[in-house]
Amino acid sequence: MIYYLMNDNKEIIKDDFSFFENALSMSDEDYKIVNGYNGALFLETYTKTEEYKQKEAEWQRNHILKVLKTRREQECFSIINRGYLWYLQLTDEHIRELNVWYDAWLDVTETLTVPKKPDWID
């Protein structure tokens, strides 16, 4: 017999072969746990439910958005915020390309597509 605790997110937060306070129990043959979408441990059977799949999809999307926002901060804002003197040196074509690139970065959380930086930007 395996004794275990789950939190409200159905993550396994404690397990043992000995009984402990508030423990749920299950046959050790049936106790199959796996690493889930967020690195936590879940019962394998739960990972096959629609509830789990929806939570996983939401977590994955939030993770992707976080990565994209970080990239936008590092790759885009550091260039866009260079200052007036840098902008004075740009041609009208450069400014147009920069605006298109910047707008694409602002939309990255909807498009989920990293825009290609204009070749002339260093």
Burial of 109 (0-12, 13-18, 19+ CB in 10 A): middle
User: CB of 36 within 8 A of CB of 7?
Assistant: no
Question: Looking at residues 30-57, what average pLDDT do you find?
Answer: 96
Whether the pLDDT of residue 122 is over 90: the answer is no
* CA–CA dist 10, 88 (Å, integer): 57
In which region does residue 10 sit, left (phi positive, over 0), alpha (psi from -120 to 50) or beta (all else)? left
pLDDT tens per residue, range 1-25: 999 999 999 999 999 999 999 999 9
Domain ranges for the chain, please list them: 2-48, 61-111
Average per-residue pLDDT in the chain? 96
pLDDT at site 31: 96
Return the SS3 of 60.
helix
